[in-house]
Amino acid sequence: MFRDKLIKKISSKKAMIGVIGLGYVGLPLALEFAKAGFKVIGIDVDKERVNKINSGHSYVLDISNEELFPLVRDSFLKATTEYSALRKLDAVIICVPTPLRKTKEPDMSYIIDASEAVAKHLRRGQVIVLESTTYPGTTDEVILPILTKTGLSIGEDFFLGFSPERIDPGNKIYKTKNIPKVVGGITPNCVDVIDCLYSQIIEQVIPVSSTEVAEMVKLLENTFRSINIGLVNELALMCDKLNIDVWEVIEAAKTKPFGFIPFYPGPGWGGHCIPIDPIYLAWKARIHGFEPRFIDLSTQINSSMPTYVVERTVRALNNFGKAVKGSKILIVGVAYKKDVTDTRESPALEIIQLFKERGASISFYDPFVPKIKLDSGTLKSIKLTASALKDKDCVLIVTDHSIIDYEFIVDKAKFVFDTRNALRHITVNRHKIERL
């Protein structure tokens, strides 16, 4: 029976593991399997990524060269752009992007392309796992039909399931190994094989009854965050009208030892997951005639925050007798969250565009992001000098990186608008500071 043979092969670490998509999810996963003693092949269409991995150089923030290089040197991990490598693999994990189309519908093209490549090389005794975040039903409705066209039998000849990625880039405590792993399979045999696979590298594996449940788990996690971020952002808007310090309110509320989890307002949401995953769920719900009102409202509020930040900045500049048109504004931090290099869906990008439309002169500083691409061209990070700060009409803190010298900013700048409460510990020059 292929189930028993594959479980035995995985348990003895003789199975060859493949990871399709070597981004912030796929590369750490490939690394853990290699560290556990498996031979791992990473597949990515990006030749630059492949070349960097094969030379032992990491491009993922949470993986150091010192960690990656020995595994490449000792042939536990290698990368390729060739899908033909799939034929010799025993386990294939798909970690490709799942963006939205301009119509706000899920873009399944990456998953379909990867699945068709797997189908082309599928053989008996392989297990396929999707980790890309997607709507409930994707594994069963999209991937399974592609793979069964080969004539192989699901749960007998090959095994298929879903396991949501839970990577939190930049998190120093929770990484791939110690984040509990939810797994769902098309059949019970599929669940058994996938459970065995992830148990080789992850401390706790949590099987669920179906791939749909596993897919929904990820969407619940991120929708929970989206809605609570929307709630606290709306509270921030309300507190502005009532002249109440929203940050003080949250700090006091979180002293309650039960029934409350603190969330914090900000200039908007960012990253691949939070702005996108709830929309996947909302799209699927509408297909089945259900109107997801909480999701829609939180999306509306969170998406409006960049505009609110710009309007608040314009208001503050007016108080200084300065029009936004022609003003020199320095954006501090353009990554979507602190201490990462990722700018995907970052609210800073929209804020910059909105200021440009209003005629402001924009520059930015980010110790993690050397340059950003805008519709108008490429913008490079400036050096954070005293003269640069004094020259600006406003310094706008959008991302609160830990390594930034905020006292220096407040000391040298004319005016600072803090959207992240990064200046909460600054005691001097408070008259220069306005907070969200």
Query: Which residues are tagged catalytic?
Result: 273
Entry field: residues in the chain = 436
What is the number of helices (H) and of strands (E) in the chain? 15, 15
Q: Cα–Cα distance between 43 and 46 in angstroms, integer? A: 9
Q: Cα–Cα distance between 66 and 215 in angstroms, integer? A: 34
Cα separation values, 25 from 28, 85, 205, Å: 6, 20, 17
Looking up tokens 């005794």 gives 125
Looking up tokens 């619940």 gives 220
Q: Cα–Cα distance between 175 and 136 in angstroms, integer? A: 25
Looking up tokens 């913008």 gives 379
Strands (E), 256-348: 328-332
Q: Cα–Cα distance between 41 and 107 in angstroms, integer? A: 26
Q: Cα–Cα distance between 73 and 55 in angstroms, integer? A: 9
Among residues 339, 345, 327, 299, the alpha carbon closest in space to that of 396 is found at 327
Q: Which residues pair with 18 in a beta bridge?
A: 41, 92
Kindly report the backbone phi and psi dihedral angles of residue 394, in degrees, each rounded to the nearest multiple of 5, phi listed first. Answer: -155, 140
Helix (H, G, I), strand (E, B) or coil at 11: helix
Q: Cα–Cα distance between 2 and 355 in angstroms, integer? A: 60
User: In the numeric block, which tokens belong to residue 28?
Assistant: 């750490």
Task: Note the maximum CA span of the chain.
Answer: 79
Among residues 205, 22, 5, the alpha carbon closest in space to that of 90 is found at 5
The amino acid at residue 285 is A
Q: What angle do CA 25, 58, 348 make, to 5 degrees?
A: 65
Cβ density class 219-256: b for 16+ within 10 Å, e for less: bebbbebbbebbbbbbbbbebbeeeeebbeebeeeeee
